[in-house]
Copies of this chain bind each other. A is one copy, B any other.
Amino acid sequence: MGGDRAPGEIVAGALRAAESGLPVVLVGDPERMGDAGGLEVIPASETIEMHEDPARAVRTKKDSSLVRAAEAVRDGRASAMVSAGNTGATMASALFRIGRIRGVGRPAIATAIPVPGTTPTVLLDSGANAECSAAWLLQFAQMGAAFARQRFGIADPRVGLLSIGEEPGKGSPLVKETYALLDAGKAGPSVRFIGNVEGRDVMSDVVDVVVTDGFTGNVVLKTLEGSMKFALNTVLAAMSSSDEAKAASEAILPALLPLVDELDPDTYGGAMLLGVDGVCIISHGSSSARAIYNAVGVAHHAVTEGLVEQLRTAISTN
B interface footprint on A169-180 (CB within 8 Å = 1, 0 otherwise): 011110100000
Q: Judge whether A164 is part of the interface by a CB distance below 8 angstroms.
A: yes
Q: Judge whether A259 is part of the interface by a CB distance below 8 angstroms.
A: yes
CB neighbours of A155 from chain B (8 A): none
Interface residue tally for chain A (C-beta within 8 Å): 57
Copies of this protein chain in the complex: 2
Structural contact, A248 and B252, CB atoms closer than 8 A = yes
Name which residue of chain B comes closest to A212, CB basis: B219
Name which residue of chain B comes closest to A257, CB basis: B238
CB neighbours of A245 from chain B (8 A): 251-252, 255
Structural contact, B241 and A227, CB atoms closer than 8 A = no
Complex CA gap A75/B232 in Å reads: 49
Complex CA gap A223/B222 in Å reads: 10
Structural contact, B250 and A234, CB atoms closer than 8 A = no
Q: Quick one: which of A201, A218, A222 has the most chain B CB within 10 A? A: A222
Name which residue of chain B comes closest to A87, CB basis: B165
Those of A191-238 within 8 Å (CB) of chain B: 198-204, 214-216, 218-232, 234-235, 237-238
Q: Judge whether A116 is part of the interface by a CB distance below 8 angstroms.
A: yes
A219 nearest CB across to chain B (Å)? 5
CB neighbours of A201 from chain B (8 A): 226
Q: Judge whether A265 is part of the interface by a CB distance below 8 angstroms.
A: no
Complex CA gap A228/B199 in Å reads: 12
A122 nearest CB across to chain B (Å)? 16
Q: Judge whether A317 is part of the interface by a CB distance below 8 angstroms.
A: no
Q: When the two chains form the complex, which single residue of B172, B231, B252 contacts A215, counting CB atoms closer than 8 Å?
A: B172
CB neighbours of A234 from chain B (8 A): 116, 256, 259
Q: Judge whether A41 is part of the interface by a CB distance below 8 angstroms.
A: no
Complex CA gap A90/B130 in Å reads: 32
Structural contact, B226 and A252, CB atoms closer than 8 A = no
Q: Judge whether A310 is part of the interface by a CB distance below 8 angstroms.
A: no
CB neighbours of A172 from chain B (8 A): 130-131, 215
Q: Please judge, given known A-B contacts A116-B234, A130-B164, A234-B259, whether A200 and B229 are in contact too, CB under 8 Å.
A: yes
CB neighbours of A167 from chain B (8 A): 51
Structural contact, B256 and A251, CB atoms closer than 8 A = no
Structural contact, B164 and A214, CB atoms closer than 8 A = yes
Structural contact, B219 and A239, CB atoms closer than 8 A = no
Q: Quick one: which of A229, A238, A239 has the most chain B CB within 10 A? A: A238
10 contacts between A and B (CB under 8 A): A130-B172, A130-B175, A199-B226, A200-B225, A219-B219, A228-B231, A231-B235, A235-B235, A247-B248, A248-B248
Point out residues on A near B: beta carbons under 8 Å: 51, 116, 127, 130-131, 162, 164, 167, 170-173, 175, 198-204, 214-216, 218-232, 234-235, 237-239, 241-242, 244-245, 247-252, 254-256, 259
Q: Sorted from nearest, which 8 A-B pairs have the closest CB atoms?
A: A200-B226, A199-B222, A199-B223, A248-B248, A231-B231, A241-B255, A248-B251, A238-B255
